[in-house]
Structure 1
Amino acid sequence: MRRLLLVTALVLSSPMPLAAQDSLPPAPYAYQQLDDPELEAKATDLMHTLRCLKCQSQSIADSDAPMAGDMRHQVRTRIAAGESPAEVRQWLVDRYGEYVSYQPRVTASTWPLFVAPLLVLLLAAFILRGRLVKRKEPGK
């Protein structure tokens, strides 16, 4: 019984499963380009507009993260299978959310993000105009 408990404790505390995750080989098209230059150009253009979910500051075309490699593989595989870049983008957005795209769509939940900067600029122009008019008034 003690041996069984000891073996169980050793297996559960072993770091092997964690180390095995990083030793998986990359997906075939993670670092290999498509044979057709036109399809590769479409895939590359699309990859530059998709965010690496692990790095968050790089596109999947520029990132060395394993997840970005898997996403590059998916993009190239789907483009080679005949899907359009828009279809591949939509599939990735459906899977990972709008955050994956550097070119988000205007929707009911995102329109304030597009309108807010314009409102701030209009407010700043209104305040600046008001201050300049006050300075030009005689007697003040």
Structure 2
Amino acid sequence: MIKSNGQKLDFSYLKGKKVILVNTASDCGYTRQYEELQRLHEKLGDRVAIIAVPANDFGSQEKGNDAEITQFCQLNFGLTFPVAKKTTVIKNSAQHRVFQWLTNASCNGWNDHAPDWNFSKYIVDENGNLTHYFGPSISPMDTEFIKAVEN
């Protein structure tokens, strides 16, 4: 996976951590979840890695380029966790291969659910197993979400 600044994401820092992958957009009703994700990152950053994955797949709500997206996230929400390069997360021939794995039960063991809107959340455990999917309406501060991340 490539970060929005063009550098390859160093997956070695993910070793031994849970990973939350979130497809994001800057002009969405759920965009305020960036703030909640940042709070979660500050609280659990030593045990949990969060990666925002911008996509323009739903309602054309991510029109910016990678630099604009990163600047928006940093200025408006103080994001300090990685923002990936803008990509495709819906199931089609252009779908990013990480999302191909997240959304294909024959690959991940159980889940076929692709994001149905911006701010869908996938949790991968310390051993690289997909453990949970949460839809966009579930806040990162929701009790069930926190429980899934912490257990």
> Which category of TM-score, normalised to the shorter sequence, fits these structures?
under 0.3
Which has more radius of gyration?
1
Greater strand share, structure number:
2
Greater helix share, structure number:
1
Report the TM-score when normalising by structure 2: 0.21
Report the TM-score when normalising by structure 1: 0.22
Q: Which has the higher contact order (CA 8 A, sep 6+)?
A: 2
